[in-house]
């Protein structure tokens, strides 16, 4: 029997940083995608609140709810029982009181069997990160372009482009590390800033649009396989064109039904009905 790769752990990702072995993370939002990601032996699945755009058809992550995240994280867990799953805490679920933060993160752990949660923000949310870690809930941080703050940022733009904001990001990374996060996602920042953070903090940095010096990389499933409609950011690399193949298949299906070429003899039950 083929050997099942062992599920990644927090000590495992820390060891990867020390060994200089890149950590691979990819998003997934349902059981089918998660099963593929697990088969590809990717270290970590992120159930990102990007599901608002990739799956639910919103134009940002802001409308995504905790119920949405629980629902999709459950499906991902069913599809990938042997892969580490990190789940995003969506907009406004960790900005009220600590009890609410712990209760809602607890839903992701207990109902969806997540291995960790991810929160966007730095020094401003360290009390929430600390409370989660103390409650036994592993936390991944997220700095740089934080999509839940897109209204403040005025769009999806490269962050930390000047010395002041790069220093601020460094301070936030240290704050998130000190609060007990086991890793931090760095999104859409200059490579040189990500390099400085990666060399300074002891926890792994996982970059998306943050360049080659991070300890790991994360991309969005739909971008990697070519299911994303419209323009893509510069940092996205598309490895397949499933959207184009799917469209060809759908058009061929429609044409064959309309022209009565489907179903043909190979795709129907030509069984004579026997007398009782």
Residues that bind ligand KIV (CB under 6 A): 27, 46, 48-50, 88, 185, 187, 208, 218, 220
Question: Three-class SS of residue 72?
Answer: helix
Element (H, E) at 139: strand 139-144
Least Å distance between CB 262 and ligand KIV? 37
Distance CA 9, CA 11 (A): 6
Give the three-state DSSP class for 46: strand
Residue closest to ligand KIV, measured at CB:
48
Burial class of residue 67 in the structure, from the number of CB atoms within 10 Å of its CB (0-12 exposed, 13-18 middle, 19+ buried) = exposed
Active-site residue, 187 included: yes
Inter-residue contact 6 to 55 (CB < 8 Å): no
Give just the sign of the alpha carbon dihedral 117, 123, 127, 128: negative
CB of 49 to ligand KIV, least distance (A): 5
> Which phi-psi region, left, alpha or beta, contains residue 147 (left: φ > 0; alpha: ψ -120 to 50)?
alpha
CB 212 to ligand KIV: min, Å: 17
Nearer to ligand KIV, 74 or 142 (CB): 142
Whether the Cβ atoms of residue 149 and residue 124 lie closer than 8 Å to each other: no
Both tokens of 29, joined, read 């939002």
The answer to whether the CB of 187 falls within 8 A of the CB of 210 is yes
Other CB atoms within 10 Å distance of the CB of residue 231: 6
Q: Which is catalytic among the residues 187, 199, 212, 256?
A: 187
The distance of closest approach from Cβ of residue 51 to ligand KIV in the complex, given in angstroms and rounded to an integer, is: 7
Is the CB of 68 or the CB of 177 nearer to ligand KIV?
68
* Residue nearer to ligand KIV on the CB measure, 44 or 179: 44
CB of 248 to ligand KIV, least distance (A): 28
Which tokens sit at 2?
């083929």
Under 8 Å between Cβ of 183 and 141: yes
Active site residues: 187
């Amino acid at each position: 029997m083929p050997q099942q790769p062992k599920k990644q752990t927090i000590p495992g990702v820390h060891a990867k940083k020390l060994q200089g072995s890149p950590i691979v993370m990819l998003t997934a939002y349902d059981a089918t995608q998660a099963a593929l990601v697990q088969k590809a032996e990717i270290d970590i699945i992120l159930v990102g609140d990007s599901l608002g755009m990739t799956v639910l058809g919103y134009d940002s992550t802001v409308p995504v709810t905790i119920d949405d995240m629980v629902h999709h994280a459950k499906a991902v867990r069913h599809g990938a029982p042997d892969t580490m799953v990190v789940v995003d805490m969506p907009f406004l679920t960790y900005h009220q009181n600590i009890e609410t933060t712990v209760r809602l993160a607890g839903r992701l752990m207990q109902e969806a069997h997540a291995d960790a949660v991810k929160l966007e923000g730095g020094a401003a949310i360290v009390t929430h990160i600390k409370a989660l870690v103390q409650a036994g809930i592993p936390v991944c941080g997220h700095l740089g372009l934080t999509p839940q703050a897109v209204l403040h940022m005025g769009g999806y733009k490269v962050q930390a482009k000047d010395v002041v904001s790069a220093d601020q990001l460094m301070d936030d990374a240290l704050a998130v590390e000190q609060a007990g996060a086991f890793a931090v996602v760095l999104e859409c920042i200059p490579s040189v800033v990500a390099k400085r953070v990666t060399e300074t903090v002891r926890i792994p940095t996982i970059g998306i649009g943050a360049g080659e010096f991070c300890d790991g990389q994360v991309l969005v499933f739909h971008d990697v396989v070519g299911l994303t409609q419209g323009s893509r950011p510069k940092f996205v690399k598309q490895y397949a064109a499933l959207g184009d193949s799917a469209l060809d298949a759908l058009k061929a299906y429609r044409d064959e039904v309309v022209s009565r070429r489907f179903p043909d003899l190979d795709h129907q039950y030509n069984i004579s009905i026997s007398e009782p």
